Structure 1
Amino acid sequence: MTRALRVHAVGSLALVEDLGRPGHAGVGVGRSGAADRAALRQVNRVLANDEGAAEVEVTSGGLDVEVVGAGSWCCVTGAPCPVTVDGRDVGSHTVFFAGPGTRVRLGTPTAGLRSYLGVRGGVVSEEVLGSRSTDVMAGVGPRPLEVGDELPLGTPGDRFPDLDTVPAPDLDGEVVLRAVRGPRDGWVRDVDALVTAAWEVTERSNRVGMRLGGHAFTPARDEQLPSEGAWRGAVQVPPSGEPVLFLVDHPVTGGYPVVAVVVDADVDRAAQLRPGDTVRFRWVAAP
């Protein structure tokens, strides 16, 4: 029987995301994929999907989907949020069954920013360059979800979930991101301000990058830096002096100095920061 999710509400932003499309930076296409890759892997693991199966990334809650056709086993990971099935509270980070015609709704996260609705079998929207991910900067992949969309679901494999709950991340408290010095750390006079100051996540933040406010770096050189390759976790300093931490939909090249690079595992945590949150950095040795 055909299985799908029919979209009734999307909140501020809902996207289909998998683990991205590596290997295309040479032709100007970034990897993209889930902003919090650990959360996507977790929801697929608990549902016995392939770890890179596509699911729905929901920013700030507000998703409302109807299960069409056969019922589905589901789970929500990432930012903990209220989850209901036809108004019955099932909670996040818990495996639950949504029968045919039921409505699954995600509320506003109690902490963090991005939640992941996973379904056994995954979402099987059309692939672009080997991935079902939406890259909001490049405009590659499926467009953001809209009311009335129907997301086809894949056929579950032979394995079955052997857990009914998974640990929820601790997204409260002070956030300290580990970082190594970048290749252009000498292009600002006060690079250690990155680790001595507390930074605020500004409203000018999205899946491309997180603009940090509260302080500004002072340039140490007057010349213009030629464009270089860019990567997830790079901390780039534009002329304003306010650093930008590149997230999953970052450009593949950039012409501003990269003064630090956040440890890859910590970029998942950065993707859960909301505008107004405070973040600090800590130097670590390069591997």
Structure 2
Amino acid sequence: MSLLVLAAGALTTIQDRGRFGHAHLGVPRAGALDAPAAALANRLVGNDPDAAVLETTLSGATFRTDHAATIAVTGAWCEVRVEGRQVAHTEAVSIRAGATVALGPARSGVRSYLAVGGGIDVRPVLGSRSTDTLAWIGPPRVQDGAVLPVGPHTGTPGPLDVGVWRRADRVLRVVPGPRADWIGADAWNGLDRATWTVDAASNRVGLRLQGRPLERCRHGELDSEGVVLGAVQLPPSGQPLVFLHDHPVTGGYPVIGVVVPDDLPICAQLRPGETVAMRVQSIAGIVAKDSAGSSTE
């Protein structure tokens, strides 16, 4: 069983929950940037949570299946058509063998997820089927004409009984990082109160932000050190960068903060030119505010 890629779009990759336990070898986790949306797609078609899905970027993609299948599209909202007929987004859909499935451009958000019953069954690399776009570990970028194997579908499609919850405000909660003392009180206030614009150079490696530059109070050299998912790094430009799933494992610029893990899916769906705020808080503050300002996909 397989999918034929008729049009791969701007960037389509294969992703699962990620590649864990290899950072000491210089291998980041990769995996779906909007993990809750990818998990929902798998649950809707009855896949195992570890099944691989297709992650499209902005422009959508088109596929043809050689077998009857159950599919679901989640994440960034886009028009989904099967043989030219519009079908539901965020819902399991049955399709016949030979059907063409087209995901249109994202109308809101950036990344959509296509799950197929049985999962994309490429060979795992270091325990994961995810594509790492920094080191290109794992399956290659999906190209026009590629034939993607699909595993046997043994699960039962599920209802949309639990959706993907989003914070209603476009805010990233940030806790101080290991180099928090590299910026002073004025810069922390600037980070906390400013509105940042998403740069067009953002990708799966990092979310690049533009705004009033943050001034460092320390200007010396910093040896390379470990970098975690969600790290907020401050280059000499003063424009912060939030590291995402394909981030490097070391870096030479100070990590002044770390985005709360629950807010990282927001980064996955921010479009170039959109704005986002950061709010600096303690660990206790995260717990206190976690229930505030949510919406559903």
Ranges in structure 2 where 5+ consecutive residues have no aligned partner: 285-297
CA deviation after TM superposition for structure 1 residue 169, in Å:
5.9
Structure 2 letter corresponding to 1:14 = T
CA distance, structure 2, for counterparts of residue 170 and residue 19 of structure 1: 19
Preserved contact between residue 197 and residue 280 of structure 1 (Cα < 8 Å)? yes
1:60-75 matches, within 5 Å, as 60-68=58-66, 70-75=67-72
Match of 1:89 in 2: 86
Match of 2:195 in 1: 198
CA deviation after TM superposition for structure 1 residue 231, in Å:
1.1
From 183, 188, 199, give the equivalent of 2:183: 188
CA distance, structure 2, for counterparts of residue 182 and residue 167 of structure 1: 32
CA distance, structure 2, for counterparts of residue 272 and residue 211 of structure 1: 13
* Structure with more helix by fraction: 2
1:124 matched to 2:121? The reply is: yes
Equivalent position SS for 2:40:
helix
CA distance, structure 1, for counterparts of residue 158 and residue 169 of structure 2: 34
1:77-156 matches, within 5 Å, as 77-156=74-153
Ranges in structure 1 where 5+ consecutive residues have no aligned partner: none
Aligned-residue Cα RMSD (Å) equals 1.6
Structure 2 letter corresponding to 1:188 = I
Which deviations, in whole Å up to 9, do the C-alpha atoms of 1:20-48 show, x marking residues without a partner?
A: 11000111111111111111111111222
Equivalent position SS for 1:192:
helix
From 46, 49, 56, give the equivalent of 1:48: 46
Which deviations, in whole Å up to 9, do the C-alpha atoms of 1:43-95 show, x marking residues without a partner?
A: 11122211121010000133000011x21000001111100001100031011
Equivalent position SS for 1:180:
strand
Equivalent position SS for 1:129:
coil
Preserved contact between residue 78 and residue 169 of structure 1 (Cα < 8 Å)? no
Match of 1:228 in 2: 225
Structure 1 letter corresponding to 2:280 = W
CA distance, structure 1, for counterparts of residue 104 and residue 149 of structure 2: 23
CA deviation after TM superposition for structure 1 residue 164, in Å:
5.8
Alpha-carbon spacing, 1:163–1:131, altered in 2? closer, same or farther (3 Å): same
CA deviation after TM superposition for structure 1 residue 269, in Å:
1.3
1:11 matched to 2:6? The reply is: no
Match of 2:56 in 1: 58
1:37 matched to 2:32? The reply is: no
1:262 matched to 2:259? The reply is: yes
From 158, 179, 200, give the equivalent of 1:162: 158
Preserved contact between residue 94 and residue 165 of structure 1 (Cα < 8 Å)? no
After the TM superposition, list the runs of 4 or more consecutive aligned residues in structure 1 that deviate by more than 2 angstroms: 164-171
CA deviation after TM superposition for structure 1 residue 216, in Å:
0.8
Which deviations, in whole Å up to 9, do the C-alpha atoms of 1:114-165 show, x marking residues without a partner?
A: 00000111000111111111000011111111111011111112x3123168
Aligned residues: 282
Preserved contact between residue 36 and residue 164 of structure 2 (Cα < 8 Å)? no
Match of 1:178 in 2: 173
CA deviation after TM superposition for structure 1 residue 166, in Å:
6.3
CA deviation after TM superposition for structure 1 residue 194, in Å:
1.2
Equivalent position SS for 1:137:
coil
CA distance, structure 1, for counterparts of residue 59 and residue 219 of structure 2: 44
CA distance, structure 2, for counterparts of residue 80 and residue 203 of structure 1: 20
Structure 2 letter corresponding to 1:46 = L
Structure 2 letter corresponding to 1:283 = V
CA distance, structure 2, for counterparts of residue 92 and residue 169 of structure 1: 16
Preserved contact between residue 83 and residue 90 of structure 1 (Cα < 8 Å)? yes
Equivalent position SS for 2:108:
coil
- Which deviates more from structure 2 when the two are superposed, residues 51-60 or residues 185-194? 185-194
TM-score (norm 1): 0.94
Equivalent position SS for 1:41:
helix
